[in-house]
Amino acid sequence: MKKTALANLDAFNKETFRQDLIGWFEQEQRTLPWRQDQDPYKVWVSEIMLQQTRVDTVIPYFNRFIEQFPTIEALAEAEEDKVLKAWEGLGYYSRARNLQAAVREVHEHYGGRVPDNPKEISSLKGVGPYTAGAILSIAYGIPEPAVDGNVMRVLSRILSIWEDIAKPATRKIFEEAVRELISHENPSFFNQALMELGALICTPTSPSCLLCPVREHCHAFYEGKQSELPIKTKNKKQKDVQIAAVVLRDREGRYLIRKRPEKGLLANLWEFPNTEISLAFLHEKDQLAELIKEQYGAIIETAEMTGQIDHVFTHLTWHIHVYKGTLLSLEEERSDLKLVTEEELKEFAFPVSHQKMLKHVQEHK
């Protein structure tokens, strides 16, 4: 492996590279709330939130989350619905459920202290190699690699690595590179500096090479190949799903909402009645009414379509036809089926798509 992908490491001035990188980070690092101290719990929460999500988006969520759940114990003992509500709008909700499950394990089995060794921390739910490395290096000063897309992009350019970063096996190459390069005196700043460099300077398109503190070390810059790296194959084509959904209110103005199943996409979040549209039905309004009668034990007045909302996931896109209607009768409320007032709606966590639906219907004349 080293003779091919990491051949450029042999003649690489590692010490100067570390000094240039860390020196830049000490001067230019952004002021971020999770950098105020090295609390492993806060580092952990921030790293989970930052997966698939921009820093600017995460900051207010992180602040509210830590205010509501300031300690391992507070999150471990919180109701899941409250945790999901605090996460509402961030997406990828399995991150929140896995985080709470792992925090409960830390609370019960490790006395509330986040483990400080690779084996134990990697056994926690939702903690992969990157998150484990980030917590160990940033919070505990342990020289473990924390390799994400940012880091792979930066190092692919600096070391001229032409392996496909979309392939899971390629991560091992970059982890080996970080193990050779990482500062043992300050692994926290080293790993954070690589991430920061990828976020601010060595960006996916149009990298700011003239501002780069480690330009002198970069093979891709000298070869004029920085725009060609990293190599990354495109994802498979997304699946398009047609959905009909209805916002229903009864005669008293209460909304009918349902809790999604414990497993699968958007697990345990609340939603308005909806169904994937079957082409076997000529009229989706009839299909919607039939579904609500069968699955919800509810009779509705003919719904009115108010428009369409598209919502994109990483692997599929929902094309939602939005209806509004009146709930005439409901056999019974259940633990997963409730009638709630507009004020009570604020207590339940909804996917972004259903938040958009509610706003759309409320604004519809």
Count CB neighbours of 285 within 10 A: 18
Distance between CA atoms of residues 170 and 245, nearest Å: 42
Contacts of 347 (CB under 8 A, 6+ apart): 81, 85, 340
DSSP string covering 276-310, please?
EPPTT-S-HHHHHHHHHHHHH-EEEPPPEEEEEEE
- Residue 353 amino acid letter: S
Q: Are 259 and 85 in contact (CB under 8 A)?
A: no
Q: Is 196 a catalytic residue?
A: no
Q: What is the 3-state secondary structure (H, E, C) of 232-259?
A: CCCCCCCEEEEEEEEEEECCCCCEEEEE
Distances 197 to 157, 188, 268 between C-alpha atoms, Å: 12, 14, 37
Ramachandran region of residue 63, left (φ > 0), alpha (ψ -120 to 50) or beta? alpha
Among residues 28, 47, 77, 196, which one is catalytic?
47
Count CB neighbours of 269 within 10 A: 21
What residues are annotated to the active site?
A: 47
